[in-house]
Structure 1
Amino acid sequence: MTEHQQRRDPAPEGDARPPERDRSRPMPRPGVWVADHPGALVGWWHEAHGTTEEVAARIAGRLILDTVDFDGFTVRPDERPETVAAVANGIRQHGLAFAAWAEFHDADPAMLTSFAEHYLGHYDDPASMHGAIQRVREADRQTANETELLFLDAPKGGTYLFAGPEHENP
């Protein structure tokens, strides 16, 4: 492990939790390590959250060569500050499930803003996920809709469950 990777330990992901933020657990604090060129031995760690302007000022046209607490989301060296800020802010607010959602949807701004309405929780195994799936299916029966479910692997184990778009049953 290199020196710049030891900035801080990632926050624990935890067991099954409700879609609302669990305030008893520390939230991840996404950061970026920037340098002037690939292979640089000297660079700077910066917090990745904040406004687009704040993040752009921190990155200052440099390359993003390492990250912390973006687990599940791949930050490119030339990632746009607005994308870095949006994903980092979402991770700070919602946890690492937001990183998986952002990666799956290529950080599409419309999908990032819809995270909370789709996220159903983090589950360690299929048995613990069963109740959430049953609630979605019961709601579908009552409304004559069919909701797609999205299962994304959590980087530290388990599965994130999301409700996709609803479709009317013919």
Structure 2
Amino acid sequence: MNPEQTPNTWNSPEGHERSIEQTPPSIYVASLADYVNGYLTGEWIDASQDIDTIREEIQAMLATSKSEAPEEYAIHDYEGFGTLRLAEYEDIERIAAIAEGIKEHGEAFACWIDHTGLDPEDWHQFEDAYLGTYDSIEAYADQMIDDLDLEATLDDSVPESFRSYVKIDRDALVRDLEYGDIWHMDFDGQVLVFNSHI
């Protein structure tokens, strides 16, 4: 699920560039007082750290403010959260919990939260819901066929003279799976597959 990425750059707020290589879930936190007064005071923070460390880094960023006694901050950008969108004033505890899940399971975890809208007490269901990442939904069906050893079962069960007439209808399998047992989403050039009953 986490293929190696080649180093690249992307634009953070106000045109700041940041090199990334296997970047953990991160948030760009900025001082609101400075922002309102036309200054840019902010910092990229690794969101997969413990909540106390994240808060300490936010306070350290605010301590560099050009404004007097800045207290408020906002999230102006983020990276590594899959399809999930974070609000400017997203709860830091929720962000840390999501980032912990991403650190353990990859960005599929955030995509699943985004799609299901489940509350944190139900996030433990991800491990049962997530069926894997594939090049296509057809590749998932092929994996199912291989895991069940269906071709070998047909070889053993069907007389050789009839074997060429007996085939597994993969397209029908895909269609039926999509109508009942699974749902999937495209992400980062691949397909994330989930159990629709969880």
State TM-score, norm by structure 2. Answer: 0.60
How far apart, CA to CA, are the structure 1 residues paired with 2:105 and 2:20?
Answer: 19
Deviations 1:64-86 (A, max 9, x none): 11112122111111010111011
Deviations 1:105-126 (A, max 9, x none): 3362033221111110011112
How far apart, CA to CA, are the structure 1 residues paired with 2:104 and 2:50?
Answer: 14
Aligned to 2:108, the other structure's residue is in SS state: helix
2:111 corresponds to 1:111 = no
2:27 corresponds to 1:32 = yes
2:63 corresponds to 1:64 = no
Contact 1:120/1:163, CA 8 A, preserved across alignment: yes
**Counterpart residue number, 1:17:** none
Question: Displacement, 1:36?
Answer: 1.3
Question: Displacement, 1:153?
Answer: 2.1
Question: Displacement, 1:57?
Answer: 3.3
Q: Give aligned pairs, total.
A: 140
Distance 1:108 1:55, change over 3 A: farther
Identity of aligned residues (%): 26
- The aligned amino acid for 2:30 is A
Question: Displacement, 1:7?
Answer: 4.1
Q: Over alpha carbons, which structure has the higher Rg?
A: 2
Question: Displacement, 1:5?
Answer: 4.5
State the Cα RMSD in Å: 2.9
**Counterpart residue number, 2:156:** none
- If asked which structure has higher relative contact order (CA below 8 Å, sep 6+), I would say 1
Q: Which runs of 5 or more structure 1 residues have no equivalent in the other structure?
A: 12-27, 137-146
State TM-score, norm by structure 1. Answer: 0.68
Contact 1:51/1:85, CA 8 A, preserved across alignment: yes
- The aligned amino acid for 2:185 is L
